[in-house]
Structure 1
Amino acid sequence: LQLCSQCVVLHQDSFLSTLKMSIRTPPTLLELAAKRLLRDQASAIAALEYLPAELFPYLFVMAYRGGHRPQLLKAMHPPDHAPTRAMGLKAMLDALDVLLSQEVQTEVRPRRCKLRVLDLSNTGANFWDIQHPELLTDGTSDCAQLQPQHGAPLAPLEVFLDLNFNERDRDKFFMHIIQWAQQREGLLHLCCKALRISEVPFQRVRRVLDRVQLDCIQEVEVHCTWDLPTLGTFALYLGQMSNLQRLSLPDIDVLAEEDEEQEEEGDFSQFLSQMLRLWHLRELHMHSPSFFRGRLDQMLRCLQTPLDELSLTYCQRLTHSDLTHLFQCPNLRQLKILHLLGLSLADFSPEPLRVLLEAVAPTLQDLGLDNCGMADSQVEAILPVLSRCHQLRKFTISINNFPVATVEKLLRHTTGLRSLEVEVYPVPLECDGTQGTVNQERLALIRAELTGTLR
């Protein structure tokens, strides 16, 4: 049992996980084999043609980082490139061109041409910062499970690249990879599964989105503030992401001028029309969705499939009508994760929330009701159904004003949840000191009381 100035946290003993983190992971057999080969550069060069493809990533990175085996690097890729990140990436692409040319020239694949998947996701321009580039040799990637819009078969070589716009000039790097892939159409398939945008002008993002196959994208995260017209423009791309599974929407600035309300409504309608095309959406995250005020029901009606995860944060401006539609949405009846952070439930009937929790009790694994302004009576209403959420692993209800009696009731009703690992509660009202401080002596006494209740 742990109490801090903001919340009470209950969690399982983390000794084993800490112990595991403190033990250094031993090298793999592939790493050991690559190190052994590098001891004799001449033998390594002679053996390149017969080495298994799984060994190449380790051998390449070790030779590159060592900096004193130039002949081996020359044998693995063209020699006229300086050892920089950009040139290192270019060298890798040049080496792939050699493999691709062998694909065309020979009917029987040589032993050293086993490469099926090149995974550059989560690396981007920092290609050489990773421990090892993930080069997979079997045709078992999940890209094959997607449903291409054009029905064309995937190429023998799949290249995975995350579109992560989080720094300057990243779009230039992406355009270089995209142009390289387009020039080799038919020989490889470029698959961009994740799109993340962080404080980058959308015009620069559009240049890249215009050149990639949008139906490969499965995850979209936007961490910036847009106006509604920008969201409407982005929606035209969003609607083409037919295999999208996870969507995180940004802050949206709503224009205040009355004469622009009609324009905003058109942008919002365009966004909704594209949401209707997302047949595989499973996770939805909305941060400060003030532009849904009074029309959240329109958004919810666009959901084509049941969600596994819903997260709404900082959404105090939603109306009671919005909340009613939210809790009654039929596509929220199979949720595994429900986060309603900063949702204003003050003076709101607890019945709709209780009904939703009743529906998701068999599947719910993570429930967050932090900073929702909940009253004791609202907590009382959900206690019986909360005790039946037997799959629940994490429950947080911090930053709410509860007396110690309410916290104790929550503890007693969650005692039988055998899967529960973490519970986060607010510091009880009895611990309030002067000028917003916490009475530490009173807190210590309550900690002892709650620990006894937990035991």
Structure 2
Amino acid sequence: MVVSLVCLCAREVVSNHSLSAAWLSCVPRELYRPLLDVAVAQCRPLAIGELVQRWPERSLSIRRWRTLHHEPPNRLCVQALLLAVVRGLTDDRCCLQVLDLCGLQSEDRHSEDVMGGWSLTVALCSTLMQARKATTASRRCRRDEREKKKRGMEIERARDGAAKRDRAGIKRKEDCGENAEPERGIPTPEEGVKGVRRRMELQKKNEAQPQVISSRENVLVDVKADLFVNARSWERVRGALSLSGPLQLHCRFLRVEELPVSSINSLLQLLTLEELLGVDVRYTSLGVTGLAMLLPQLARFPRLCSLRLHYCNLDVQRIRPGQQEALQEVSRGLGELRQLRRLSLTARPASAGTPASAAQPLEALELPYLSLTPGDVAYLSRSPHASSLTQLDLSENSLHHSSLHSLRYLLGQAERCLKRLSLCGCGLSDGPLGQLVPALRQCHALYSLRLALNPLSRAALVDLVRSVASIGSLRLLLYPNPLEEYEPGLPPLPSSAQLFDWPLSEDSEVREVTLIQLNEALRARGRTQDLLLTSDLIKYSTDLTMDD
């Protein structure tokens, strides 16, 4: 990568903070953005703060940081940014009106220097409250200065008036004689002072009374962000969303954990209808009834395109009073989500026909841990969504021999558009996977293929790599450790849980043999440079993240 001259100069400029006062006074507005990019890349929080406090443009988007540096910014950089936005509210040089923080959060738990989604949400809400206090104090200070100046002018006018009246009285006495009485109706200087004091007392009394301010009247900067809310931060986020102040919070993607449906609905009522794009609900005991209550609230958002429900106790296997009516309400509610394109469920909320209840064909369908039956797979393969899917996740569903025909048909329907396929932990042994390989080779748009935790032999794994390497678009293959690499004692067809918990062999030569054979298969296809093979299930997990 060739570094531009502007970038090289920006690195030199931001490297010495002691000279910031000198170069900030003469830097043109066109160079603020490259300077800020370099300051983020080199973790220069002081330079970030001074640049953002004087930001010369109306908008500032942080989304490009992830694109430029392929990793989230440092925690100190984010904190410096938020503090600088507050300081910029009272800085006449700052022109910022829209701050876009969407996509800034990171869920990488292995790095302590980046800010996670929950921490960023809490920090953002604290910034909103701090901004209101700062602007309130600044407004009060300016008001006090104006009132002090006004009182001084009134006292000066009163003194001038008193002096004029004194001169007029002396002149009348000279004209009318010594015994002339002063004219009535003209206040004495003492009475004028009493009037000023009375007005000051009334003014202080009015200031003590609460004033109702319009929600948009004092908004200086609109802040767009993805929010991560749980039981510990719910009150703070709700307060920040309902707060009227110089910073107005807008939510693009909302992720909630461990919240009842009533609290989720309360948050949804505070969000801007036109801006919410996705909702991710996790570890919440919604139940089918709770989901039926939630969907009408979601239907209010016309641009909602993503709905994820993970571990929400959507148990439909038990026969309960009113269960069938609730399932029908869920089906109707999904149909009201007119722009829904991504649906992710970890427990089936209705019959096999529920995914087809969406108003438009889905582009991403994630159904892990659902215990799908052969009938479910057959229904899915013939649904309107099959030919439009770009992402499909059927992980941890046991794909029996009777499901393979439907799965091959499904792959044939989606061969032109399917980009990401996850079949981790589906019990695919050598024979069933060999039957799927011809259909996989026809998926010409496939970008990533995840097959971890399937009981494959080394020979079947090598044949798989040799076959899928012919897919020119494929860039990632998450393959399972072959059975030869585990310690003795596994059953002939182990489950995914057994493969996950069973220890791998400590003999490095066993794993070395697998790597050598896989590299030879890639070399034979000429794919050693652009196709990544990995068995790292932790780093390349199937857990869902917030995508743009």
Give the match's secondary structure for 1:216. Answer: coil
Q: Percent identity?
A: 23
Aligned counterpart, 1:452? 520
- Change in Cα spacing, 1:356 to 1:257, as seen in structure 2 (3 Å) is closer
CA distance in 2, matches of 1:39, 1:157: 25
Whether the aligned pair in 1 keeps the contact of 2:448 and 2:475 (CA below 8 Å) is: yes
In the TM superposition, residue 166 of structure 1 has moved relative to its aligned partner by 3.4
- Change in Cα spacing, 1:33 to 1:158, as seen in structure 2 (3 Å) is farther
Alignment partner of 1:166 is 2:230: yes
Whether the aligned pair in 2 keeps the contact of 1:115 and 1:157 (CA below 8 Å) is: yes
Aligned counterpart, 1:81? none
Return the match for 2:441 from 361, 379, 387. Answer: 387
In the TM superposition, residue 357 of structure 1 has moved relative to its aligned partner by 1.0
CA distance in 2, matches of 1:127, 1:415: 45
Give the match's secondary structure for 2:345. Answer: strand
Return the match for 1:117 from 84, 98, 107. Answer: 98
In the TM superposition, residue 363 of structure 1 has moved relative to its aligned partner by 2.0
Give the match's secondary structure for 1:192. Answer: strand
Return the match for 1:251 from 311, 316, 319. Answer: 311
Whether the aligned pair in 1 keeps the contact of 2:342 and 2:365 (CA below 8 Å) is: yes
- Change in Cα spacing, 1:64 to 1:338, as seen in structure 2 (3 Å) is closer
1:276-314 CA distances to partner (integer Å, 9 max, x unpaired)?
A: 122222222222x1444xx021x1222222333222222
Aligned counterpart, 1:209? 268
Give the match's secondary structure for 1:391. Answer: coil
CA distance in 2, matches of 1:257, 1:389: 35
CA distance in 1, matches of 2:317, 2:419: 43
Aligned counterpart, 2:201? none
Whether the aligned pair in 2 keeps the contact of 1:368 and 1:397 (CA below 8 Å) is: yes
TM-score, normalising length: structure 2: 0.56
Give the match's secondary structure for 1:338. Answer: strand
Give the match's secondary structure for 2:366. Answer: strand
CA distance in 1, matches of 2:516, 2:48: 58
- Change in Cα spacing, 1:170 to 1:403, as seen in structure 2 (3 Å) is same
Whether the aligned pair in 1 keeps the contact of 2:241 and 2:271 (CA below 8 Å) is: no
Q: How does 1:82-161 map to 2 (within 5 A)?
A: 114-121=95-102, 122=105, 123-127=120-124, 158-161=222-225
- Change in Cα spacing, 1:38 to 1:125, as seen in structure 2 (3 Å) is farther
1:323-360 CA distances to partner (integer Å, 9 max, x unpaired)?
A: 21122222231222222110110232311111111122
Give the match's secondary structure for 1:209. Answer: helix
CA distance in 2, matches of 1:450, 1:94: 56
Return the match for 2:483 from 426, 429, 437. Answer: 429
Whether the aligned pair in 1 keeps the contact of 2:122 and 2:236 (CA below 8 Å) is: no
CA distance in 2, matches of 1:359, 1:31: 55
Larger strand share, 1 or 2: 1
CA distance in 2, matches of 1:204, 1:63: 40
CA distance in 1, matches of 2:126, 2:243: 23
CA distance in 2, matches of 1:52, 1:432: 58
In the TM superposition, residue 393 of structure 1 has moved relative to its aligned partner by 2.3
In the TM superposition, residue 399 of structure 1 has moved relative to its aligned partner by 1.3
**Structure 2 residues without counterparts, runs of 5 or longer:** 40-44, 55-77, 106-119, 128-218, 491-502, 524-548
Return the match for 1:261 from 320, 328, 338. Answer: 320
CA distance in 2, matches of 1:176, 1:312: 34
**Structure 1 residues without counterparts, runs of 5 or longer:** 1-15, 67-71, 74-84, 100-110, 131-154
Whether the aligned pair in 1 keeps the contact of 2:277 and 2:304 (CA below 8 Å) is: yes
Aligned counterpart, 2:390? 336
- Change in Cα spacing, 1:443 to 1:63, as seen in structure 2 (3 Å) is closer
CA distance in 1, matches of 2:273, 2:253: 10
Return the match for 1:303 from 320, 341, 358. Answer: 358
CA-based RMSD of the aligned residues comes to 4.4
TM-score, normalising length: structure 1: 0.66
Query: Quick one: which amino acid aligns to residue 168 of structure 1?
Result: R
Whether the aligned pair in 2 keeps the contact of 1:255 and 1:261 (CA below 8 Å) is: no
Return the match for 1:376 from 430, 442, 448. Answer: 430
For these two proteins, the number of residue pairs brought into alignment is: 364
Return the match for 2:251 from 177, 192, 196. Answer: 192
Aligned counterpart, 1:39? 21
In the TM superposition, residue 118 of structure 1 has moved relative to its aligned partner by 2.6
Whether the aligned pair in 2 keeps the contact of 1:53 and 1:114 (CA below 8 Å) is: no
Point out the structure with max Rg over C-alpha. 2
In the TM superposition, residue 63 of structure 1 has moved relative to its aligned partner by 8.6
In the TM superposition, residue 93 of structure 1 has moved relative to its aligned partner by 6.7
1:248-303 CA distances to partner (integer Å, 9 max, x unpaired)?
A: 11223256896x7232333332222221122222222222x1444xx021x12222
CA distance in 1, matches of 2:220, 2:338: 28
Aligned counterpart, 1:416? 470
